[in-house]
């Protein structure tokens, strides 16, 4: 029996003996949710993670987090179609965070400051042959080298870069930027052999005693279509036009250039023709703008520069100086059907931009491979049917973008590493998605997206200067700070502040917070008032 | 004039802390060494706005007085849940006497400190809306009238909560309480009664009067710090939603306080010598329905027999506040 006075249960003094945590029926727990930008990134970048450091102005740390997944940020910041921004939750608040422009700023800053990659891990003694020095091959080489493997890239062309150099025009990707980022990868200790075409992959692997190979030869053979034409008709393909832009002799296209196709390559070649002095660059495409595979902002930029587009048209015949074009109509399935109405267009040259095929000659005689529609089939670990031979980039079935290729390179590198160590690479399970309804947007400052400067149209039509400008430090910092940090704590102290029971312990900068379940009553205020959705309630076990 | 919010740096001063701000720009509550004037283990309900508001305010007063503070408490929820004899959650010198005499006790403590020559020791008196607007009103008015050197903080949860939600003179019109049941043609609390204590305090011409909510910590801390820099009678009226009495979810306390301000029902401002010197503008205007609907004490306005005319009368009160205090940004009024 207690000898305390009536109705008194505790000794005089503090209330700390009163463990109010026993009232709780549900407890708050900290968690990480997957930000939609990270989820959308084909290269698997930890975008929220690097923006976190950019927000505090620590650009080098931001860059280091960025390049853990992607060694080409300055290239990415120019040529990536940024699906991250399409997924960004801030788009539902005002407008998406300019992730791509901050990435470019970090990439450019790294080149300016001369930041180098962290040194590779201890050498494993394993040798990997990479075929092709495009984005996929470079990405794989970078990751494998950092893991400690010896990497040799064999490139058939005269320079590294693949389609980044021989497909993407200079006005979108200045070559000094590409060169700087390629060189940084080579500086890591990657051996690059240029003008080295692999005739037979198995022989080359045996000759160089390679333990594994990663094929990333890209898709460089222009698709052709049969167009009846006179002997003097000037027909070229887009791939060779763009490739010859890198050489001494610029392509001769004439004053009226017609481009046939509706992809990004068609846009690139039309804009290139305009810059080479064509008075008219006309894209002929058999469907409508809505159906065009080219990205709309590129179509828009091309139109601004005076490129014309002839919709719903196919080319039936080519003669010297003229083309016969048939008008098309979309049927109820959206498929273009011929109408039998023809017209004639003047054209000094016709450029075919109808897609590209893969040169698979190096794979002849390799057993176990499966080729479907001209692409090499790979399983989920990027390995072909032949053990030890992996493939990625444009030569495997996928969306053909630089970012996807970089992602393939990273993924393949992880699986090659596992293959070399005789283990299995198992990616960490993905966190649940940080959807907009998990956020408390009240707390974010109102701030609209920073607009990137664009080169004026006259200079765009007459030079290969870069069209889209970058951000300076001030507005890059502004843009980074527009990040909502979806699903990941950014140490705003709200949980620590709003708890009526002082049941949140602040662990200090960079260390986050911890719940004191002795006193947490489970009210859920911290969960509701967490701006970024990094806390959730879970029922207590009964 | 007034609290100058930082509008950028990701979340600016909207959040409790912000790693991007300099130390000088950070809040008391974000600090690891805040005084936690009211400690863990208190018996307030889950999500109690008053427990939160009291820690916000008294921690700020501690920071503003170099930790030389004595707190006087009226009877009410805050006293009952923090200090059931013989335990106490208070980590500051703290005294409780009666329901109605907190301002007079505070006056006495201030006089005692003056006599002892301890002018560095500052006095805060605090109570709920019951002890402030009803039971202790006479003492409070006297304290104002004499301009005693006390900061009085009223935690307004708009009824007598710990005795079972009875109406006070701070209960809003149409609200259901145990003594204003939703029956008859005009259900809930009557219109046109009650007291607007911030304006009554201003009418005394005291040096400082301010209102605040638990939804805007930085504004509240600014006002407490400012009050601590002034001598004489000062009054802060703090809106603290009560999950129990208002019939709201325990995790919604801050959201409801925010909506009270954003819809215009609870104007947030500060005044010197009876004159309004600054107001907190509405950031995202909302109709009063958004504020009323999540609260069960107003459920009868939206039930099977809704009372749109009553909602319209409440909206008219909010609209009047918005006009009177110029709560919208210029050009929107």
* HEC sequence for A488-515: CCCCCCHHHHHCCCCCEEECCCCCCEEE
Distance from CA of A491 to the nearest CA of B (A): 7
User: Would the CB atoms of B42 and A516 count as touching at under 8 Å?
Assistant: no
A90 to chain B: which residues are within 8 Å by CB? none
C-beta of residue A62 within 8 angstroms of C-beta of residue A51: yes
ipTM of the complex: 0.95
C-beta of residue A49 within 8 angstroms of C-beta of residue A99: no
- B88 vs A: CB within 8 A: yes
CA distance B172 to B159: 9
Q: What is the pLDDT of residues A38-67, one digit of tens each?
A: 999 999 999 999 999 999 999 999 999 999
C-beta of residue A271 within 8 angstroms of C-beta of residue A303: no
B113 contacts: CB under 8 Å, gap ≥ 6 = B70, B119, B121, B123
CA-based radius of gyration for chain B: 19
Find the helix packing angle between B102-115 and B137-145, rounded to 10°.
40
User: Would the CB atoms of A525 and B17 count as touching at under 8 Å?
Assistant: no
B133 contacts: CB under 8 Å, gap ≥ 6 = B154, B168, B169, B170, B194, B195, B197
Residue to test with chain B: of A523, A526, A528, most B Cβ within 10 A: A523
pLDDT band at A71 (very low <50, low <70, confident <90, very high): very high
C-beta of residue A515 within 8 angstroms of C-beta of residue B41: no
What three-state secondary structure class fits A9? coil
Report the pLDDT value the prediction gives residue B85, as an integer from 0 to 100: 81
CA B71 distance to own-chain centroid: 16
Q: Which architecture does CATH list for A36-115+441-479? A: Orthogonal Bundle (1.10)
Q: Is the pLDDT of residue A76 over 80?
A: yes
Buried residues in A440-464 as b, exposed as e (16+ CB within 10 A): bebbbbebebbeeeeeeeeebbeeb
Q: Is the pLDDT of residue A391 over 60?
A: yes
Q: Is the pLDDT of residue A7 over 60?
A: no
- B32 vs A: CB within 8 A: yes
CA-based radius of gyration for chain A: 28
Phi, psi of A93 (to 5 degrees): -95, -55
User: What is the rounded average pLDDT for all residues in chain A?
Assistant: 93
User: Would the CB atoms of B18 and A493 count as touching at under 8 Å?
Assistant: yes
C-beta of residue B208 within 8 angstroms of C-beta of residue B272: yes
CA distance A410 to A118: 16
Domain parsing of chain A, residue ranges: 16-32+489-539, 36-115+441-479, 127-221+357-420, 224-356
Residue to test with chain A: of B43, B46, B256, most A Cβ within 10 A: B46
Which residues 282-321 of chain B have a CB within 8 Å of chain A? 284
Whether domain A224-356 has CATH 3.40.50.300? no
pLDDT band at A364 (very low <50, low <70, confident <90, very high): confident
| Host H or E run for residue A212 | strand A212-215
What three-state secondary structure class fits B217? helix
Nearest alpha carbon to residue A524 among B39, B49, B47? B47
CA distance A56 to A66: 15
Q: What percent of chain A has pLDDT over 90?
A: 82
Strands A504-506 vs A513-515: parallel, antiparallel or unpaired = antiparallel
Q: B237 - beta bridge partners?
A: B154, B211
User: Would the CB atoms of B10 and A519 count as touching at under 8 Å?
Assistant: no
Q: What is the pLDDT of residues A218-260, one digit of tens each?
A: 999 999 888 888 888 889 999 999 999 988 888 889 999 999 9
Residue to test with chain A: of B87, B262, B290, most A Cβ within 10 A: B87
Nearest alpha carbon to residue B297 among B190, B174, B176? B176
| Beta carbons within 10 angstroms of residue A296's beta carbon | 10
Q: Which of A11, A442, A523 sits opposite B46 (nearest CB)?
A: A523
* A139-153, A184-198, B18-32, range with the lowest pLDDT: B18-32
Q: What percent of chain A has pLDDT over 70?
A: 98
A171 contacts: CB under 8 Å, gap ≥ 6 = A271, A275, A460, A463, A464, A465, A466, A467
CA distance B157 to B214: 11
Report the pLDDT value the prediction gives residue A418, as an integer from 0 to 100: 97
Ranges of chain B with pLDDT below 70:
1, 8, 331-333
How many Cβ pairs within 8 Å bridge chains A and B? 158
Phi, psi of B126 (to 5 degrees): -145, 150
Strands A349-352 vs A256-260: parallel, antiparallel or unpaired = parallel
Q: A192 - beta bridge partners?
A: A153
| Beta carbons within 10 angstroms of residue A377's beta carbon | 14
A33 contacts: CB under 8 Å, gap ≥ 6 = A431, A432, A433, A434, A438, A486, A487, A488, A533, A534
Report the pLDDT value the prediction gives residue A10, as an integer from 0 to 100: 60
User: Would the CB atoms of B254 and A525 count as touching at under 8 Å?
Assistant: yes
Look at the block and give the residue holding tokens 């001494």.
A248
Residue to test with chain A: of B11, B49, B258, most A Cβ within 10 A: B11
Q: Which architecture does CATH list for A16-32+489-539? A: 2-Layer Sandwich (3.30)
Domain pair A16-32+489-539 / A224-356, same fold: no
The most confident of the ranges A251-255, A363-367, A432-436 is: A432-436
pLDDT band at A11 (very low <50, low <70, confident <90, very high): low
C-beta of residue B237 within 8 angstroms of C-beta of residue B264: no
What three-state secondary structure class fits A528? helix
Q: Is the pLDDT of residue A492 over 80?
A: yes
Report the pLDDT value the prediction gives residue B333, as an integer from 0 to 100: 46
What three-state secondary structure class fits A441? helix
Report the pLDDT value the prediction gives residue B331, as an integer from 0 to 100: 59
Q: Is the pLDDT of residue A341 over 60?
A: yes
Look at the block and give the residue holding tokens 């960490």.
A428
Structure tokens at A421: 């160590």
Strands A356-357 vs A221-222: parallel, antiparallel or unpaired = antiparallel
Residue B131 DSSP code: I
What DSSP line would sit under A342-366, residue for residue? EEEEE-SEEEE---EE---GGGTT-
CA distance B239 to B214: 7
Nearest alpha carbon to residue A299 among A335, A265, A334? A265
Q: Which architecture does CATH list for A127-221+357-420? A: 3-Layer(bba) Sandwich (3.50)
Q: Look up the pTM and report it.
A: 0.91
Work out the angle at residue B81's Cα, subtended by the Cα atoms of residues B244 and B74, and round it to the nearest 5 degrees. Answer: 100
Look at the block and give the residue holding tokens 């703090």.
B238
Which residues 511-530 of chain A have a CB within 8 Å of chain B? 516, 518-519, 521-525, 527-529
Structure tokens at A463: 């030079």
B61 contacts: CB under 8 Å, gap ≥ 6 = B69, B122, B124, B151, B224, B227, B228
User: Would the CB atoms of B46 and A516 count as touching at under 8 Å?
Assistant: no
Higher-confidence residue of A143 and B3: namely: A143
CA distance A291 to A295: 10
| Beta carbons within 10 angstroms of residue A327's beta carbon | 17
Structure tokens at A129: 């042959």
User: Would the CB atoms of B88 and A15 count as touching at under 8 Å?
Assistant: yes
**Stated length of chain B:** 333
Q: Is the pLDDT of residue A127 over 50?
A: yes
| Host H or E run for residue A129 | strand A127-131
Report the pLDDT value the prediction gives residue A250, as an integer from 0 to 100: 86
Mean pLDDT of A412-425: 96
CA distance A494 to B30: 8
Report the pLDDT value the prediction gives residue A14, as an integer from 0 to 100: 84
Q: Which of A490, A494, A519 sits opposite B40 (nearest CB)?
A: A519
Nearest alpha carbon to residue B223 among B79, B27, B73? B27
């Amino acid at each position: 029996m207690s000898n305390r006075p009536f109705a008194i249960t505790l000794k005089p003094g503090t209330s700390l003996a009163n463990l109010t945590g026993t009232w709780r029926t549900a407890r708050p727990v900290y968690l990480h949710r997957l930000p939609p930008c990270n989820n959308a990134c084909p290269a698997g970048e930890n975008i929220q993670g690097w923006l976190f450091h950019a927000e505090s102005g620590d650009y080098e740390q931001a860059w280091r987090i960025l390049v853990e997944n992607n060694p080409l940020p300055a290239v990415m910041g120019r040529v990536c179609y940024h699906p991250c921004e399409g997924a960004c939750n801030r788009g539902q608040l005002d407008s998406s965070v300019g992730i791509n422009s901050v990435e470019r700023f970090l990439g450019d800053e790294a080149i300016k400051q001369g930041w180098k990659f962290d040194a590779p891990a201890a050498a494993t003694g394993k040798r990997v042959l990479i075929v092709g020095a495009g984005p996929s091959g470079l990405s794989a080489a970078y990751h494998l080298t950092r893991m400690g493997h010896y990497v040799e890239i064999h490139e058939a062309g005269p320079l590294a870069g693949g389609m980044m150099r021989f497909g993407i025009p200079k006005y979108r990707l200045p070559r000094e930027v590409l060169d700087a980022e390629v060189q940084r990868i080579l500086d890591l200790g990657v051996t690059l052999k240029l003008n080295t075409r692999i005739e037979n992959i198995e022989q080359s692997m045996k000759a160089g005693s390679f333990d594994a190979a990663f094929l990333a030869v890209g898709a460089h053979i222009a698709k052709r279509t049969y167009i009846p034409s006179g002997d003097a008709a000037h027909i070229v393909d887009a791939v060779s036009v763009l490739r010859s832009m890198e050489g001494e002799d610029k392509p001769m296209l004439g004053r009226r250039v017609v481009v046939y196709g509706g992809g990004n390559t068609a846009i690139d070649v039309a804009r290139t023709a305009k810059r080479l002095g064509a008075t008219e660059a006309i894209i002929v495409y058999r469907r409508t703008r809505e159906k065009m595979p080219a990205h709309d902002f590129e179509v828009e930029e091309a139109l601004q520069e005076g490129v014309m587009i002839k919709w719903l048209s196919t080319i039936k015949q080519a003669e010297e100086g003229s083309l016969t074009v048939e008008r098309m109509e979309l049927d109820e399935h959206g498929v273009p059907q011929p109408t039998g109405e023809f017209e004639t267009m003047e054209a000094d040259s016709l450029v075919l931009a109808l897609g590209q095929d893969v040169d698979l000659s190096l794979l002849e005689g390799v057993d176990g491979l499966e080729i479907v529609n001209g692409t090499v089939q790979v399983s989920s670990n990027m390995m072909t049917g032949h053990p030890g031979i992996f493939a990625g980039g444009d030569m495997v079935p996928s969306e053909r973008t630089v970012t996807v290729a970089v992602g393939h390179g990273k993924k393949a590198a992880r699986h090659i590493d596992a293959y070399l160590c005789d283990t299995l690479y198992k990616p960490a399970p993905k966190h649940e998605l940080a959807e907009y309804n998990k956020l408390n947007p009240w707390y974010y400052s109102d701030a609209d997206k920073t607009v990137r400067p664009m080169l004026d149209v006259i200079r765009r039509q007459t030079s290969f200067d870069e069209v889209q400008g970058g951000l300076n430090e001030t507005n890059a910092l502004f843009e980074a700070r527009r990040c909502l940090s979806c699903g990941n704590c950014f140490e705003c102290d709200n949980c620590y502040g709003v708890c009526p029971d002082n049941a949140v312990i602040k662990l200090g900068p960079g260390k986050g917070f911890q719940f004191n379940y002795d006193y947490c009553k489970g009210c859920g205020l911290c969960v509701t008032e967490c701006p970024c959705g990094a806390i959730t309630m879970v029922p207590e076990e009964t | 004039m007034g609290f100058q919010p930082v509008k950028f740096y990701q979340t600016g001063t909207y959040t409790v802390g912000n790693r991007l701000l300099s130390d000088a720009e950070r809040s008391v509550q974000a600090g690891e060494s805040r005084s936690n004037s009211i400690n863990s283990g208190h018996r307030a309900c889950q999500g109690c706005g008053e427990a939160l508001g009291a820690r916000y305010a008294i921690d700020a007063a501690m920071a503003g007085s170099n930790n030389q503070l004595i707190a006087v408490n009226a009877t009410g929820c805050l006293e009952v849940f923090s200090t059931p004899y013989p335990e106490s959650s208070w980590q500051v010198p703290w005294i409780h006497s009666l329901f109605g005499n907190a301002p007079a006790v505070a006056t006495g403590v201030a006089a005692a400190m003056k006599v002892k020559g301890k002018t560095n020791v500052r006095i805060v008196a605090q109570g709920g809306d019951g002890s402030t607007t009803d039971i202790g009103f006479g003492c409070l008015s006297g304290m104002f009238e004499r301009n005693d050197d006390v900061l009085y903080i009223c935690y307004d949860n708009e009824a007598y909560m710990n005795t079972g939600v009875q109406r006070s003179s701070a209960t809003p019109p149409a609200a259901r309480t145990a003594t204003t049941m939703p029956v008859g043609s005009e259900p809930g609390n009557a219109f046109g009664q009650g007291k607007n204590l911030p304006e009554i305090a201003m009418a005394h011409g005291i040096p400082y009067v301010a209102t605040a909510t638990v939804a805007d910590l930085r504004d509240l801390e600014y006002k407490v710090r400012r009050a601590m820099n002034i001598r004489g009678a000062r009054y802060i009226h703090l809106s603290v939603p009560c999950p129990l009495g208002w019939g709201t979810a325990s995790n919604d306390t801050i959201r409801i306080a925010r909506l009270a301000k954003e819809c215009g029902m609870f104007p947030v401002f500060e005044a010197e010598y009876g004159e309004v010197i600054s107001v907190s503008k509405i950031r995202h205007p909302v109709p009063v329905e958004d504020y009323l609907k999540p609260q069960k004490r107003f459920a009868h306005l939206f039930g099977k027999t809704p009372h749109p005319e009553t909602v319209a009368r409440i909206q008219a009160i909010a609209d009047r506040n918005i006009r009177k205090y110029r709560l919208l940004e210029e050009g929107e009024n």
